[in-house]
Amino acid sequence: MHEADSPLGKDVDYDADYDAGLLFPLARAGGRAKLPEQALNAMHGWDIWNAYELSWLDPAGKPAVAWAEFWFPAGSIHIVESKSFKLYLNSLNQHRFESADALRAVLARDLAESAGAPVEVQLHLPAGWGGFAPAEPDGFCLDDLPVVIERYQPMPELLRCVGSEPVSERLFSRLLRSRCPVTGQPDWGTVQIEYEGPALDRAGLLAYIVSFRQHQDFHEQCVERMFSDILQRCAPKRLAVYARYLRRGGLDINPYRSTAADRPPNLRCARQ
């Protein structure tokens, strides 16, 4: 399917009946065609989606609500276009399910079919919500460093190392902004870079993150671009890039890309 055929930016029916066909898959291959093979071969990760407007009917017709986590493997063939995901979830609003487990099974089946890979689904019912609280990334915050910004499109040439002694550190910034490739609307986020290798120039890294401010691309592709650029320019022994984007339409998307086949915490930042 082509991006122009997606429901993004179009008037739609939000009261549709349950319909898995509302999910609109987009091939990852298009965005990855711009990345070097070295980065693609080194890249593992997840796209963690949180849905806060999930509701359905129980067998008696009484509404139920939950917060849902969806873990899409970075190796899946497709991503799911976010507005189509919201429309799909809304189509469940008037549908009756025997139990929350029955709903979870339907979600896992439909999303796996759309993504082209198994998708992990976790439902958090209201009884357990008291155990969740916002938390901020740890590490050094780059945001107060003095930098001069001259261009707001990705500038990998800003990335450089200072010295040859290896370090292991976490750096983060709340100044990430990119733009939707279809509507041009801003997407806001916090990004954390964890690495082991020659020390990154922190001011240059901050300026590089800010340079995405007018860049139009999907969340997943922005993070993969960052991962690839840092890997190519600075050659760390180990690297992980984790972006926590703010929600839109009750959904937030949080791509994680790493040289290790590990699993990040689903860290919910205060702005999320």
Which residues are part of the catalytic machinery? Answer: 180, 187
Cα Rg of the chain (Å, integer): 19
Burial class (CB in 10 A: 0-12, 13-18, 19+), 41: exposed
DSSP H or E run through 51 = strand 44-57
Angstrom distance (rounded) from CA 265 to CA 216: 27
Angstrom distance (rounded) from CA 198 to CA 186: 33
Q: Count the alpha carbons within 13 Å of 209 in the hemisphere toward its beta carbon.
A: 27
Sign of the four-CA dihedral 39, 158, 267, 113: negative
The DSSP-derived string for 192-241 is EEEEEEEEE-HHHHHHHHHTTTT-B--HHHHHHHHHHHHHHHH--SEEEE
37: tokens are 């093979």
Sign of the four-CA dihedral 175, 140, 269, 219: positive
DSSP H or E run through 178 = strand 161-179
Q: Are the C-beta atoms of 191 and 241 separated by less than 8 Å?
A: yes
237: tokens are 């022994």
